[in-house]
Each structure stands twice: as structure tokens, then as C-alpha cells.
Chain A
């Protein structure tokens, strides 16, 4: 597979884009690479009126991994700041967990090598 790390970068870009979209003013990113894959954690605050977007995030990130969609469309992820490609992130990750409370959302993503 080509561009292994660039693809991870695209995933981070896309989630960061989403956090901006839901009104985040403070974002923290944690990234770790090990022998098995990439572990990505993003945390940010969000505006309460955007809670529906958080529900959508949970739905989209839980889409099953689809290598054929990733292989063709991965360049779209994280590129456009007026719309999100969260379904694509779902298709590019092996595991996704979203935790949220009243004003903060935490997103854990795992992508195996």
C-alpha cells in the first residue's frame, strides 16, 4: 500500500475538520504508531446545538472498513473544509469509538497496517 502515513494524516485532517465544523475551539490530538497499526485520539469541545452532528459521527465512523472505497477515494478525506467525509473515515478505519458529554467529544480510531 502506498502513502500509509499520508492516509493517516488525511484521517486526522478529516476529524479535525469535523471538530471545527461542530464549533471546537480547543482540540487535542494524540497519535501513536506501533507494529500493528496506528492509534489516533482526537478530543475537542463542541456547541450543544451541533449534537445531531455528533450522532451522525457515531453512525458514520461505524461503517465497516472497505478497502476498495479507500483505495479509490482516500485523497478526498480531509480536503474540503465546507463538508465532511466521515463515511470515508469509517471505511478507512478498523475500529472507532466516540465518547461525548455535554460539551466535549473524544474520538478513538484504530487503523491496522
Chain B
């Protein structure tokens, strides 16, 4: 007898994500006038999106939140149409999109990559639904299209078709590469598409540079909104925790089970421990990340909220506060001994997105997590140039290199059971 197939329907995970997206939109609408939001969106859609492009500084807070909420709602609709059964990976994918919709992904630029993945599925004579997870995360390369489309170096009749073609091409080659790249880090880098996109971006930008096209560096980083966002994010994360506690069907003491997993890909907490405990984990990880940024004197803006959302999302798919803390400590120790400060923008992002390496702490122990983060904070500052900021998951690229480099060493010095 085959495994029992459940009938597809919207499950609670969908409802949580839909509610989350609607809250984003409502919050956005309270931050600006309708005209301000429309003009802001126009500005967001018509700008290049290479790292670091804080949409709060480009289109305003209101437009950025509306962009984030609408984009996630559209992706949820696509997943629903694909009859995708939402669970941990879905939460990770959707919150990653939501977070990066504050600094690089928007209602225009993500579709070229998604369409490229769709074309790949057609080429393989397969259903698109089989590649929808890759498409979700693959939007990391969304800036490839807009960087070329809105480049000042080329006339529009060349730049727009070339940008569209480039975006589609990225999506077309991504699925085959993404699966293969898992072998390099064995699932110890949670942002595998970031690693893959980093390699793709490096090759692509190298070719562009050989034709004299140099991606223009950007650094848009807003400050001064910590109080407002602290309150907003705290409400969201406490909401996750309370909803998890309210809807749980097991004793709260069993929540600690979630800490027994290493978090290595694929560790789907919704499947393993259920949505309620997953939501509690997400809320706790969110509050911890928020506290980290505030304690080090960092800034709550598009990129850092993006980092926090990504942590929260992946707290349904591999991260827990227990495995995140060693990463924060590793970056902190690095900033005490290296030539930069703990609240430098790039280091804030290194700490938040460096939690891609959380499974190393989960598998080998907290000391190894600290060491991995210490190395990561240096590597990440050196790889952005390679892809010219076109890979939004720059930390995922660095984390892949770090994990692939350290893993054989850690294994070599670990005591075997037998």
C-alpha cells in the first residue's frame, strides 16, 4: 500500500504567512501617503538593486513594506497554484523573499529569474512545481536584470533586452547548479542558493568586466528608525511565540526537542516538531537577532531587517537560538581583533546572514560555530567584489566557501564513535 496522500488544501502555515504578508502591507500603508507609496514603488522598481541598496532610502519605508508584503503574497499564490504543501522550507523561502524585498528584490526584478527556472522545467519536460523551491530562493540573482536594464553605460534599446535576457539566463542555469553545489558544503551552509548564485555571479561579472562593463558600487544605508522597528518587530515575533503556545498540541516542555537537531540541510522543524513549536522557535530567534543589533548599536533598516527576517524564516528550517548565538559570538570576537568595528554595516550583515553556518555549531558544537563565524566575517568582506554585488546572498556565498573549507578539517579532528 502506498503512503497515504493527503488532499491539497491551504494549511495553517499558509495562513500564518498570508497574515504576515498582510501585516507588512498594512504597516507600510501607515508609514506614508498613498501617493508617497506609489512614487516610492516607482523609484524602487526603476533603480539598480545591487548590494547594498536599502529600499528605505530609495523609496521610503511605506513603499518598501508594501513591496515586501505584495511580493510575498504573489509568491504564496504561485505556491498555492502549484499545490505546494507549505512547511518549513516554505517559511524559509517566503521570509527570505520578504526580507530581501527591503534591499534588492522587488515586484519587477524577481520574475526574470523565476521565468528562467520555468523555462528550465519546460526544457526538462518536467512540471514547474518541482523547481518552485529553487525559484523561491533563486531570486537572489534578481539584481542581474535591473543592474543591466538601468545601467547608464548602455542605451535603453540594448540594456533592457540584455537585462531581461540575463535575468532569464540566470534562472535557467540555476537549478542544475544549485543541486550540485550541495556536495561542496554537505548542507552545512543553509543558504545554498547564495553559494550557487555567488559562483554564477562571479562567472557572469567576469565576462561582463571583460567587455568593459563594470557594475556600479552602491551603498544606501538608512539609520535613525531603531525605536519604531524595534516595536514593530517585537510585536511580530512575540505574536509568533504566543500563537505557537496557543495552538500547540503538546506540552510546552517538549519544545526543547527542537534543540536536538543539528540543523543541517534538510531539517524541517514544521515536519519534525510541528508548526506551533516552529513558530515559538522563530519568534525567539527573531527577538534574539533584534536584541543583538540593538546591543551592538547597529541600525534597523532594510538590509538588517532583511537579515532578521531571513533568520526567522530559517528558524523553521535549520536554525535555533542555540546555534545562532555561537555565530554572533564568532563575529563579535572577530570585530574585537580585526580592523573593523562590530557595528560597521558589513559586519552587522555578516553576523545576521552568517547564521547560515548555524548547522556547524549544531553538529560539531558551539566552539566550532564560533570559529566558523570568525573566519566567515573575514571571507565575506572579500567576495562581494567577485560578483559585483549582483548576488544578494553574498553572505551565503561566503558561508558556502567557509563551510566547504572547514568541514573536512573539523571532521578530520573529530573523535569518531568507533
Structural contact, A72 and B179, CB atoms closer than 8 A: yes
Does B2 make an interface contact (CB < 8 A)?
yes
Contacting residue for A73 out of B4, B131, B179, CB 8 A: B179
The contact string, 1 if C-beta is below 8 Å from chain B, for chain A 65-79, is 111111111111001
A66-B266 contact given A80-B187, A82-B363, CB 8 Å threshold? no
Structural contact, A71 and B2, CB atoms closer than 8 A: no
Does A94 make an interface contact (CB < 8 A)?
yes
Structural contact, B3 and A75, CB atoms closer than 8 A: no
> Which residues of A (51-96) have their CB < 8 Å from a CB of B?
62-76, 79-80, 82-83, 85, 87-88, 93-96
A72-B6 contact given A79-B183, A82-B411, CB 8 Å threshold? no
Structural contact, A75 and B179, CB atoms closer than 8 A: yes
A5 — which chain B residues lie within 8 A by C-beta? Answer: none
Taking the closest CB of chain A, its distance from the CB of B379, in whole angstroms, is: 22
Number of interface residues of B (CB under 8 A): 37
A65 — which chain B residues lie within 8 A by C-beta? Answer: 3
Structural contact, A94 and B3, CB atoms closer than 8 A: yes
B85 — which chain A residues lie within 8 A by C-beta? Answer: 64, 66
A83 — which chain B residues lie within 8 A by C-beta? Answer: 262, 264, 363
- Interface 9-residue window, one of B108-116, B122-130, B245-253: B122-130
Does B151 make an interface contact (CB < 8 A)?
no
Does B92 make an interface contact (CB < 8 A)?
no
Contacting residue for A95 out of B3, B6, B84, B180, CB 8 A: B3
Bound-state Cα–Cα, A22 to B414, Å = 19
A75-B180 contact given A64-B6, A68-B84, A95-B3, CB 8 Å threshold? yes
Contacting residue for B133 out of A2, A63, A72, CB 8 A: A72
Nearest CB in chain A to that of B183: its residue: A75
Does B412 make an interface contact (CB < 8 A)?
no
The contact string, 1 if C-beta is below 8 Å from chain A, for chain B 252-287, is 000000000010111010011000000000000000
Does B178 make an interface contact (CB < 8 A)?
yes
A76 — which chain B residues lie within 8 A by C-beta? Answer: 182, 186-187, 265-266
Does B1 make an interface contact (CB < 8 A)?
yes
Bound-state Cα–Cα, A73 to B85, Å = 16
Bound-state Cα–Cα, A68 to B175, Å = 11
A80-B186 contact given A72-B178, A96-B3, CB 8 Å threshold? yes
> Which residues of B (125-181) have their CB < 8 Å from a CB of A?
126-127, 129-134, 175, 178-180
Taking the closest CB of chain B, its distance from the CB of A94, in whole angstroms, is: 5
Does B205 make an interface contact (CB < 8 A)?
no
Bound-state Cα–Cα, A25 to B180, Å = 32
B411 — which chain A residues lie within 8 A by C-beta? Answer: 82
Max count, chain A CB within 10 A of own CB: residue among B6, B133, B180, B414: B133
Bound-state Cα–Cα, A95 to B4, Å = 9
Nearest CB in chain A to that of B188: its residue: A80
Does B35 make an interface contact (CB < 8 A)?
no
Taking the closest CB of chain A, its distance from the CB of B313, in whole angstroms, is: 16
B265 — which chain A residues lie within 8 A by C-beta? Answer: 73, 76
Taking the closest CB of chain A, its distance from the CB of B274, in whole angstroms, is: 12
Contacting residue for A87 out of B124, B179, B266, CB 8 A: B266
Contacting residue for B266 out of A2, A82, A85, CB 8 A: A85
B129 — which chain A residues lie within 8 A by C-beta? Answer: 67-68
Does B5 make an interface contact (CB < 8 A)?
yes
Structural contact, A67 and B127, CB atoms closer than 8 A: yes
Contacting residue for B5 out of A64, A85, A96, CB 8 A: A64
Known: A2-B124, A72-B179, A79-B186. 5 other contacts (CB 8 A): A64-B4, A73-B179, A83-B262, A95-B2, A110-B2
Q: Give the interface of A toward B (CB within 8 A).
A: 1-2, 62-76, 79-80, 82-83, 85, 87-88, 93-96, 110
Minimum-distance CB pairs A-B, first 4:
A71-B130, A67-B130, A75-B182, A68-B133
CB pairs A–B below 8 angstroms (28 shown): A1-B124, A1-B126, A62-B3, A64-B6, A67-B127, A67-B130, A68-B132, A69-B266, A71-B130, A71-B131, A71-B134, A72-B133, A72-B175, A72-B178, A72-B179, A73-B179, A73-B266, A75-B179, A75-B182, A75-B183, A76-B265, A80-B186, A82-B414, A85-B266, A87-B272, A88-B266, A95-B1, A110-B2
